[in-house]
Structure 1
Amino acid sequence: MKQSSPNAFLDRLFFSDHNNGIFSDKTLLQDFEVHDVIILAPVAESLQGIENETDIPWNETITSDFIASHILKCSSGLGYGLYGKTKQFTTINGKTVIIKNDFVYTDKGFSSVRHAKLLYDHLYYSGDINRPPYLIYFLDRPLLKSCFDSCTRIPKSLSVSKSFEKITNFQQIIRLYPLISQKVKQILTNSLKKLRSLEESSVLNLDNIRQIIENTVISVINTFKSSRTSSIKNLLKAEKFSEEDVELLIENYVCDETHDIVFFYLLKINKERDKELMDSIISMEYIDIHQIGLPIINSEIIDRISDAVNCFKQLEKRRIPSERLTVLLKTVQFLVTSTVKITKESQRNKNYNKNMFQDTSNFLKNNLGGDCLIPMLLLVLIRAKLNNLETNLVYITHFSFLNTHRGEESYALSSLEAVLYHILHQRDKLKMISDCNIILWNSIKSGDIDILESIFKKQHPSFNSDINGDSAIMLGIKTKNISSITFLFNQPQFSSEFLLNDRDIEGSTLLMVAIKLEFKEAIDILLQKLKTCSNQKFFNYLTQKDYSGKTICHYLFYQPYLIYELGPHLSWKSRDKQGQTPLFSLFMMHNHLDYKKIAMDAIEIVQLIENNNLNVDDHFDNNGNSLFHIINDSECLSKLLSCRGNINKRNNDGFTPLICHIKFGRSKLVKIFLNDKRTDISAKDQNGFTAIHFLVQMNLETMNILTEIVNIEERTSYTGSTALHIAVQEKSLDCIKYLVKNRSADINALNYKGDRPVDIAKDQEVVDLLDEFAFFKNSLKKQGKIARVVRILFEDDSSIKFIIKSGFELNLVDFKFLYKCLVFQYSELWVPSLHIDFLDPCIIPSRPSKSILSAFLNCFDNFLQILLQHSVFSTDELLWEFVTVPQLYTHLTTERSQKKFLDKDKDRQEKLMSVDEINDIDFFF
């Protein structure tokens, strides 16, 4: 039968006829010894497919030049260099490559610069048993740019890139032109000197500062225009910059460079005004949205104000006037239009980025009028509590020289100026309202009924809310003051309609808040009040969602007694923004003291609602986890397994429920899954791991159950690791001992990189343990002395050391010395040979050959084992000195071997009979 290889490259090189010519070692490699070449073979996957234009299979386009470009010359006289260093090689067709770390880079002779990753190495033995093996390193892709590339359509956007980065500021432009940069910096230096002289000459005022900065901007613009070269023009043309755009970039640059001193002077000039504004804002900080004169108030208006407050707070983080103006425009846009919305998550996290401050044009369309904007902006300024508001307004208004304010910009600035005026001139009135509010809220928190009665006799503050947006009754529930709650519920202002619609800033209803705070008294009063509504309104109330998408049903674990009381009226399939149903949320409460009870009660209620037809597949979150993944009680799991549902459903990480519980060490649940015939124990996650590869998370009992039904040598899909490899990575000594002692795991199993478990061990205790197992492997039945070669180490000079148990380091010279001494001393006996006809493992210093190391290890260990089992060699002191003495003294050992040889020769001669003592008949025969 004709030999072949599944790899097209190796098939062409060693086996196949192609175009009536044989690409084999008899042609391309015929002038080279095996030790003179290294073969770089692209993996089979990189050579599969069909060329687009000709429909010819790729593997049929492999030429002799292609193959020769992947065969490196490495003559025996070539220095190997230091372990881990970069090295240059020449191919057999005269090209050069550079190997650095795990990558091969093309160099001289190649038409283009390419690189490929070294994956693993392999020793290839030809049919001739007397011929040493070829060393093959596998690459993830070919080194030559050939027909393979014509089959890959590279998008133009990816294949073409600009020679310069995107220009966003003037600094980037002058950085490219040092002469212009030097002139601009000189102008700035002179301007800064003039600014400092203002303070010294006592003429520090706004007009003087503004004049200096304006002159600086004009000077830089003129300098740049006069120095503009053809390359600058091409750059601006490529970026599509107009004259106005460049001038605005220059203005922003000058303002940024002078910001620190200019803004400092403005602060000094407006110090009193800024302080007066901040004092006024603090005095009215408890103003409520219902008290600022808005004609309409709803949830959308409240959301707009909240978004605007978070946006306006960004003003302090901006430096130049144009950036601060953009923040103001965006703030106004939030208030007057509903076209811009920010998610609640972003609102709470204040997670705004620069993209938010773009495209602020056309914001006056379909928006609220000034009658609404002024009071809303007032509330924004009060809640934002920014310092130096007057200074910021002056800086934005007076230091935007080239920006002729358009309608929306002028509108925003005039509105801000009007609000600042209102704050100063309506301070007393607003302060009085604020003080009344804080008295109301404090009395609710403290439960002072006398003050509450006096307040409610004078006014009807049922619609007032505190700074957090909580109504009086919501505040009473959150402070858990039963006296205030009882008083407020008895007030006619708090009707059933009010209770149904009252929400806090997170969208939670009164009943949700009471349940989350475990305020049973408030829950009972609320339910009593709400049940007076129609059934339709009451049931609709129970299904309302907060801003996280949760309903009352999602929070029942806070008050488990409500599961039976309200459960039949709730929606158990309603999903929150994480995709969790109420049943899912209850099952997630693993630390709840009554976890088993609430989980069992919830299952019973849902079964009751769904006529004993609960489908587990209806309850999963956005991560793909089902109830089977998150359950944390054995009885609940057993009950759940009796329901419909896929017990092997994978989540988004590819974990089945079995793997998930193994990862978290839930042994009882793992046993239940393993005893269920529906469980797929061979299922893999997205990294190719099966249940056996998570063995380190299990206890001994679960390990026994799983390893009895699963192959412990099963490999992961992508790395080829066994369970022992992973136990070594995790430094799990107990798991390592269990796998090797109890399940006879292969300690020499190789992953796809050619690593044994000991090769990837980082912890010395793990290494020592694996060495012990290697030492006693196949030696337990032997009598007498034992020694084994268990491991190989690399040194920095690329030499290799062999670890002989117990732990001595020996090198190649030591083994050769032992062999020569034994041959000399026992010339009449057969001495096992040392088959070490391999390349140096460090021929590629940055990626030593693990296959050669493995061959060395087997060779020297077999050599040692034969000697130890031999009746003569096993008793020789030379052998036991070799395996037990840390350092060999070769000169003394050589002298002793020579003396023993001479003594043995002398003894042999003495035992021989002389010719005179032999009679004729004996001599004849």
Structure 2
Amino acid sequence: MHPLNPFLRAFFRSTLPSQCLPVNHHILLVPTTESLFQGRDRETTAPYADLAVSEEFLSSHVIRVPGGIPPGTTSKDGANIRESKGKAKQYNTLNGRTVVVKDTYVYSNKGFKSLTQAQLLTDALFCPDMPEAQQWLVYYISRPLVGSYDPVRIIPATIKTAAQRAADKPKPTTPSASDVKKKEIASFTELLTAFPLIARQLQNGLDRTLKEFAAQFEGPVPNKSSRAPSVSSQRSNYSSTSLEDSLASLRSSVSGSDSSNRLSSLTIEPEEDTMRFALESATTAAIDLFQGVDRQQLSLLGATTDLSGPVVERMIERHVAEQLHEFILFPRICNIRRSEDLELEHRLRKMANIDVAQVGIPIEDGMRGKRDMAIRIDRAVGMFKKMGVASSPQEMIEVLLDTAKTVTATPTTNVGKPGVRPDGAAEKPSIAMTINADALVSMLLIVVIRSSVRHLHARLSYMRHFVFIDDVDSGEMGYVLSTFEAVLVYLSQDSDALRIAARKNARLWKATRNGNTTELRNMLQPDAPWIADGQVIEEAPSFDESFRDQDDSSLSSRLTNLNLEREQQLSMPNGNFAAIGGSLAHVFPFQKPPTPPPEASQPKRKRVTMASFRSASVSSGYSSPSRRKDWAETRG
């Protein structure tokens, strides 16, 4: 009578027993009967009970034992079981493949299409039902070693009652999203964690590739001998270049041609070129290692995730850069660009007091528009500061793109809220702000100044030269990188007007904090008209006509002419701070901008305000001449 196990029945019916001589030098790894009848191959969907009759399947489960010493027994030279416990041993199969036995598990190795493992359950001596049969050593294992095991549930045949049949009727249910949801893989580290078989095949190769790269740059970081020109040597002629002219030259350099297709003026140093070639070779080697992974595991990866080939290649490139960023790549690039970065950081510290309205950003909708602009810039500064802790050039590009999107996005307080037009009709909510290249340059300029991120030239070179799969010379990345490069070039070479404006802002705000009105008057009104005895003629806030004395009619014409002269002088392009450093109306709202001359038919009425004299009120009985007399006596 033939045995029930399909493997044993097919093995002793084949010609393989005649090839296993002597018998005590061979061991049969027999899958259990349940695993053969209740399992199938995932690729071919064939049941293992049918696959067990093939000669390839049978010979893959017969291992040769040199000397006839099975795993876990005492050797001839006296080594006991305790000494060999926990050590992995490799054995050859009858068809030339290899398996590894360690503790109570057996692993498929070389020659198998897929890497699987099975547990050693028990051993037995089996004697086939044939004349002059010899005893065979049999190790029962939990599952087959060939193919990819997929268990199949067998429902036993039972007689159910009417109540059970009614309860087992299928109910209409909608499939939940969790049943069909695939794994979300965001990085190559998460991929290796989710697929340990892929990680086991890649570990040795990746470690070897990274060590070879590190061996090329074991020495100390070389010092760059060249030194960028100092601030004083690059200082331009302040009198000939104003802030508006310098910002106009910056905007024209960016918007004059297509920034996404414009070639970068950033040159690569020889040391950077050497590291770039080595990093590209390491990335290519890592991608080749991944492509050599078992095909079954790659198919499983594609079936359970949404990853594609290009996405995995970008993950591998970023993973290699992250492993080499902290100790090799970025420190050497920072040292190469050290002189340029020190020069730029020295300049940026002197521009810390620059204001938004002084960099050419168009502000609409009055104070509300300015508040929205301030919110966007603050968020963009917080986003750009993340570049200081980025661990790869790909992450730095993502931070730069997010910064550009943040600074041009509408604040969340206005998103989704419809506005009201002047005619009363509802207006569609604005989701994003339409912005041109000039405004983006100015916004990115103020973000870079306020963020205080170091090593900007090194980071620009890092993003430009050490990203290989993505195209950083065109498209969205190329546009943002070109704009960022133009901002850095402007800050390094043509930012003298910004430094002058920032220095004057610091003086202005310091005088405001200290209450130094004399300093404020000298800065805000350098060409204001002065009366011989020290009286200053200035425009006062509007007030009721009943407050005006009737005796100052002769003085009104004098005041009108003096104020007209002051307005003409304030409108001149030179000689005041507004022409050099931009308008300061956003800082001091009480300082009114120049107004057009009043019409001749209805001259604008002015009022005289005296320094260090109390204001007139309704109960005041003093006239303008009497006030001037008292003030003169006080001065005397």
The TM-score bracket by the shorter chain reads 0.3 to 0.5
State the TM-score, normalizing by the size of structure 1.
0.31
Give the number of the structure with larger relative contact order, counting CA–CA contacts within 8 Å between residues 6 or more apart.
2
